[in-house]
Amino acid sequence: MRLRDKVALITGAASGIGREAALLFAREGAAVVAVDVNELAAQETVAAIEQEGGRAAACRADVSKAADCEQMVAFAEAQFGKLDVMFNNAGIMHGADDDAVSTEEAIWDLTMNINAKGVFFGCKYGIPALRRAGGGSIINTASFVALMGAATPQIAYTASKGAVLSMTRELAVIHARENIRVNALCPGPLRTKLLMDFLDTEEKKQRRLVHIPMGRFGEAKEIALAALYLASDESSYVTGTEFLVDGGLTAAYVTPK
C-alpha cells in the first residue's frame, strides 16, 4: 500500500477529484479526512470508504474561512493523531465568471476567496501540523489555465489558479528544508460537475475539446492517481512542480483531427 500509516486531509472531498482521491488514498492505506462545505456529501464519501474497510472522517469547512481551516486541521490531528498529506483541492468555477468587462466584482471576490485564499489558509494551518509530523506533502489543485489562455473566458478562475501555481512555487522553496514538499496539480478539462455545469451546451463542450489531442475530457480518477503519486513517498524528490495531467493540451499547437 502506497500511503500506509499516512493521514491525508482532502478539501472538496464530496465530489469530483476530491472524492476520487479520498477513495483511492484510503484504498492505499491512508486515514482520510474528507472536508467539504457540503457536509452531507462529504459524509457519503466517508461512508463509501468505510464500506470498503477504510478509515475516514468527514469534516464541514468552508475553505474561504480562516476559522474553518484552522478547525479542519485540528480535527484531523484529533481524529487520527497527525497530518502527513494536505490536499488543497476545493474550488469553484462560477457560471457568471466571464471576461474582464462582464465579470462582477462579487464573482471575482468569491472565486479568489475560495480558490486562492482557501489554498493559503490550507497552508497557513496545515504547515504547522505537517511540521509536527516531521514533514509531509502538500498538493494544491491549480489548472492548465494557470499556464495557457482559456478559449472560454473565466477571468476570476484563471487569475485564482495563477495565484495557486505561483504560491505553490514559493511554498516549495521556503519549506524544502523542513521535509515538506509542495506541488501544484494542474488538470486539463475534466468530465466533472464543475466543468460540465460551466460548459453547459454541446457547442461549448466541443469548443473546449478542439484543444485536447486525446479528443476527450479527463476523468476525476485520472487526476486522483496523479495526486496519489504526489502524496506518496514515491515522489520524495518532487517539489515545486506544475504537475500537468491534461491529455496533451499544453503540448499542442494544432490538435490532430
Q: How far is the CB of 140 from ligand NAD (least distance, A)?
A: 9
Q: Is 253 a catalytic residue?
A: no
Q: Output the CA–CA distances (angstroms, integers) from residue 38 to 31, 60, 69, 148, 242, in the order listed.
A: 20, 7, 15, 31, 28
Note whether 220 binds ligand NAD by CB under 6 A: yes
Binding part of the chain for ligand NAD, among 6-14, 47-55, 71-79, 237-245 by CB under 6 A, reads: 6-14
Residues that contact ligand NAD, how many (by CB under 6 A): 29
d(CA 77, CA 125): 12
Note whether 16 binds ligand NAD by CB under 6 A: yes
Q: Which of 7, 26, 36, 87 binds ligand NAD (CB under 6 A)?
A: 36
Nearer to ligand NAD (CB atom), residue 31 or residue 220? 220
Pull the grid cell for residue 1.
500500500
Nearer to ligand NAD (CB atom), residue 54 or residue 187? 187
Note whether 199 binds ligand NAD by CB under 6 A: no
Nearer to ligand NAD (CB atom), residue 54 or residue 247? 247
User: Residue with the closest Cβ to ligand NAD?
Assistant: 16
Q: How far is the CB of 5 from ligand NAD (least distance, A)?
A: 26
Contacts to ligand NAD from residues 79-98, by CB under 6 A: 89-92
Q: How far is the CB of 4 from ligand NAD (least distance, A)?
A: 26
Which of these is catalytic: 125, 157, 229, 253? 157
Contacts to ligand NAD from residues 140-169, by CB under 6 A: 141, 143
| Active site residue ranges | 157
Q: Which residues bind ligand NAD (CB under 6 A)?
A: 11-12, 14-18, 36-38, 61-64, 89-92, 114, 141, 143, 187, 189-190, 192-195, 220
